């Protein structure tokens, strides 16, 4: 969360601020009044006081007291999402662990495990989400891991993001752009998927306000200018419907609402039309007061009354009564021809359906007896868990797959037996096959859609009935990846292709070994990886596979050098010039105690080997390579034993001279207990106390332990050893190991 010590733009005295904070708190209590049980008020008061004390010295960018942010987030949770007491407490405390002295143990002692777990989930999210845009995909993956533990974590996070968007004006422009693009890319689709349509719409509009300010202002102005004309049209449209519905003894609400600026802008872009040509600038909503058993029938009766008055467009009927969306959305949508030849969208819902449409998942918990919808959510979560379980997926690919698989609009299709399957828009017959079973997907050779034969890449539409045709001889191909959109299908195809590739690569390994033996080379994993880099391939598997399918010609292997030495013994060097002779003389007996950074380094060119990255103070040796002069290796280098045993005549003894002006990059792997503040202690010691520059750091926490990889610039081994010893003295640090940086 961004804080500042700048001069506040918010000018209130201390007494006025206290009144303002209490006013917000009392407003929150009023919203919660219907949900309060004995003892709840005291718990809320405790959480409120804990948050007020924790944030008392903090202010937001606008200058207002920081506590107004958690209070506003809590109010959004209650008023706009429909969450209860426990979620409100979590919302009040959602920033305390990250930004203040309060610990997770304090929260657990005061409020119990359930609340502590949700607050912990929110803390982990906020510590990863706003750090670095390039890591956004990885961060989002972490968010989803917490989402599947307890959906309330993400609902509170959505409320937090919404309030941040509402107060984004006080931020710098680059921050506004970063937060807005993140919101429209990830949070708005997620709000939509959780059934929070109002929040999704507001997030999209607010994002657009910062990302496309001119278009936003233009549409907002035109909506404002046409408001009176629109109101007149809506009243004319509603009047006859109102009379007929009252005559039929319905208790209902009917009103027109403008479409969001973002959706109007999308229509203008998609259809290439101007504002004036967008026909559905608003929708009419009818909310019927209906008993549970009569809901569907009443909605269809209302539909009948509307279509008696106005002609419907048959292809624009959306029946989410028979097949609710997997986020629980139920309604009937139809588009009819209104007065003045204008098309108008009409949405028909009952009060219960409307509450679910407005408050999504939270409203579901209220109607728990509706197990069919409950299981749709469970199904969605289990699919996400399955996708997250695949640790091999590249984070960028994962985020893209997630958006197409889980955040897209859905279609519903039927199995041959009439069972309904939900798939994202854009899904193919092959996606359906993998949805049925991995084996069915892997053996799919075609499909029958509505009894007609179609290819496996056929794009499905809502209402299609599909039968998959399989063959035992079929297996997945690379091009299949372009035919599927679901995460499950993509992953299963990739897994099968990888397995197939491994089998073929075995042949490539045999060919490479023979080739190396023929030229006196050595077959090691390190050399295979170096060769893969030489041929500009991503992995050793790719190298062996391409050798097997004869895509790589190994003639070029003689040009290749690895680890400061060729893959095969060098031919004797002929002395062809005075210069070569001088270089050869440089490595005479008197130079065996070569001092690096001493005077003799002026006479002898050397480089530090990439395979072991030596630093001053390490035990090292020099190795005369055929083409790259002298290379310095650590004596415990992975290649040291081979180089020294095979080519002892080319080894030169070396030692370091002190030079505090040059820094060397080295890596430290730190393992310890995943405790609050441990990262701060480590970075404070490295950068603050010992004044080392940290080039990069990555952290990963799992089951109470964390692993941190730090890349640090040091002058010599002495400094590094002192740093390792001091790190081990820190409480909670179990192990510190040096590793070779890339």
- Report the catalytic residues: 98-99
Q: How far is CA 712 from the centre of its chain?
A: 28
Tell me the β-bridge partners of 701: 706
* Residue ranges in 417-524 assigned as alpha helix (H): 429-436, 438-442, 487-518
Please give the helix or strand (H or E) that residue 708 lies within, else none: strand 705-714
String of DSSP letters for 208-263? HHHHSHHHHHHHHHHHHHTHHHHHHHHHHHHHHHHHHHHHTT--EEEEEEEPPHHH
φ and ψ at 713, to 5 degrees?
A: -90, 120
Q: Each residue of 127-136: b (16+ CB within 10 Å) or e?
A: ebbbeeeeeb
φ and ψ at 228, to 5 degrees?
A: -65, -45
**Biggest CA-to-CA distance, the chain:** 112
Residues 60, 33: Cα–Cα separation, whole Å: 29
Sorted by sequence, the CB contacts under 8 Å of residue 444 that are 6+ apart come out as: 429, 430, 433, 456, 468, 469, 470, 474
Residues 414, 418: Cα–Cα separation, whole Å: 5
> What number of other Cβ atoms are within 10 A of residue 35's Cβ?
13
Cβ-contact 470, 440 below 8 angstroms: yes
Residues 111, 105: Cα–Cα separation, whole Å: 10
Unique residue bearing structure tokens 């804080």: 3
Cβ-contact 123, 1 below 8 angstroms: no
Residues 38, 514: Cα–Cα separation, whole Å: 80
In the DSSP assignment, the letter for residue 355 is: H
Cα 724 to Cα 658, 680, 714: the distances in Å are 20, 16, 12
Residues 99, 426: Cα–Cα separation, whole Å: 43
> What number of other Cβ atoms are within 10 A of residue 707's Cβ?
15
Residues 469, 643: Cα–Cα separation, whole Å: 59
Strands (E), 353-499: 410-414, 420-424, 444-449, 452-454, 466-470
Cβ-contact 465, 447 below 8 angstroms: no
Residues 349, 330: Cα–Cα separation, whole Å: 7
Unique residue bearing structure tokens 């009419």: 284
Unique residue bearing structure tokens 């130079």: 591
φ and ψ at 53, to 5 degrees?
A: -65, -40
The dihedral built from the CA positions of residue 420, 424, 426 and 429, taken in this order, carries a sign that is negative
Residue count of the chain, please give it. Answer: 742
Residues 354, 324: Cα–Cα separation, whole Å: 13
CA atoms within 13 A on the CB side of 673: 7
């Amino acid at each position: 969360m961004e804080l500042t010590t700048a001069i506040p733009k918010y000018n209130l005295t201390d007494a006025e601020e206290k009144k303002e904070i209490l006013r917000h708190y009392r407003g929150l209590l009023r919203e919660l009044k219907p949900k309060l049980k004995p003892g709840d008020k005291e718990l809320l008061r405790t959480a409120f006081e804990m948050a007020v004390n924790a944030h008392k010295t903090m202010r937001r960018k606008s200058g207002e007291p920081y506590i107004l942010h958690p209070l506003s987030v809590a109010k959004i949770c209650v008023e706009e999402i429909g969450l209860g007491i426990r979620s409100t407490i979590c919302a009040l405390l959602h920033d305390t662990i990250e930004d203040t002295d309060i610990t997770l143990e304090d929260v657990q002692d005061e409020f119990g495990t359930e609340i502590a777990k949700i607050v912990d989930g929110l803390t982990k999210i906020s510590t990863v989400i706003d750090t670095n845009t390039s890591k956004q995909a990885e961060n989002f993956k972490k968010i989803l891991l917490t989402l599947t533990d307890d959906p309330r974590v993400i609902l509170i996070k959505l409320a937090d993001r919404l309030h941040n968007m509402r107060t984004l004006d006080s931020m710098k422009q680059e921050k506004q752009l970063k937060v807005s693009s993140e919101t429209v890319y990830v949070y708005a689709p997620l709000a939509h998927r959780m059934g929070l349509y109002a929040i999704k719409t507001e997030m999209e509009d607010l994002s657009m306000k910062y990302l496309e300010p001119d278009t936003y202002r233009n549409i907002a102005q035109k909506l404002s200018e046409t408001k009176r004309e629109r109101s007149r049209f809506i009243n004319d449209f509603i009047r006859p419907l109102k009379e007929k519905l009252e005559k039929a003894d319905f208790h209902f609400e009917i009103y027109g609402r403008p479409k969001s600026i973002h959706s109007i802008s999308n229509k203008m872009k998609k259809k290439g039309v101007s504002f004036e040509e967008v026909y559905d600038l608003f929708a009419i909503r009818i909310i019927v007061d209906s008993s549970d058993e009569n809901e569907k029938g009443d909605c269809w009766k209302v539909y009948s009354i509307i279509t008696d008055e106005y002609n419907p467009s048959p292809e624009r009927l959306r029946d989410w009564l028979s097949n609710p969306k997997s986020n629980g959305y139920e309604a009937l949508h139809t588009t009819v021809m209104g007065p003045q030849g204008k098309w108008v969208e009409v949405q028909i819902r009952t009060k219960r359906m409307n509450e679910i449409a407005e408050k999504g998942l939270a409203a579901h918990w209220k109607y728990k007896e509706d197990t069919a919808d409950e299981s749709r959510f469970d199904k969605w979560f289990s699919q996400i868990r399955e996708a997250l379980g695949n640790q091999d997926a590249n984070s960028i690919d994962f985020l893209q797959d997630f958006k197409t698989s889980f955040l897209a609009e859905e279609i519903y299709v039927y199995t041959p037996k009439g069972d309904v399957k939900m798939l994202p828009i854009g899904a193919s017959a092959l996606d359906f096959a993998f949805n049925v079973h991995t084996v069915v997907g892997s053996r799919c050779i075609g499909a029958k859609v509505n009894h007609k034969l179609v290819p496996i890449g056929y794009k499905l539409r809502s209402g299609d009935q599909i039968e998959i045709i399989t063959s035992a001889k079929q297996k997945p191909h690379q091009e299949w990846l372009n035919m599927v959109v679901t995460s499950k299908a993509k992953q299963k195809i990739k897994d099968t292709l990888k397995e197939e590739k491994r089998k073929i690569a075995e042949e490539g390994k045999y060919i490479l070994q023979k080739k190396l033996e023929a030229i006196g080379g050595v077959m090691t994993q390190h050399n295979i990886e170096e060769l893969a880099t030489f041929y500009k391939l991503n992995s050793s598997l790719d190298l062996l596979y391409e050798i097997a399918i004869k895509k790589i010609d190994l003639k070029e292997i003689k040009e290749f050098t690895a680890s400061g030495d060729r893959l095969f013994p060098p031919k004797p060097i002929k002395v062809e010039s005075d210069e070569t002779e001088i270089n050869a003389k440089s490595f005479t007996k008197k130079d065996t105690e070569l001092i690096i950074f001493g005077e003799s380094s002026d006479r002898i060119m050397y480089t530090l080997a990439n395979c072991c990255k030596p630093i001053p103070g390490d035990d090292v040796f020099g190795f005369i390579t055929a083409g790259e002069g002298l290379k310095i290796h650590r004596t415990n280098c992975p290649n040291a034993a081979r180089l020294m045993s095979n080519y002892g005549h080319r080894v030169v003894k070396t030692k370091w001279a002190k030079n505090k002006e040059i820094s060397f990059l080295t890596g430290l792997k730190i393992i310890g207990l995943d405790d609050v503040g441990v990262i701060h202690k480590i970075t404070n010691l490295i950068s603050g106390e010992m004044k080392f520059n940290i080039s990069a750091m990555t952290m990963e926490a799992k089951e109470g332990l964390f692993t941190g990889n730090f890349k640090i610039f040091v002058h010599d081994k002495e400094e590094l050893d002192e740093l390792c010893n001091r790190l081990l003295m820190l409480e909670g640090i179990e192990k510190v190991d040096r590793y070779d940086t890339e």
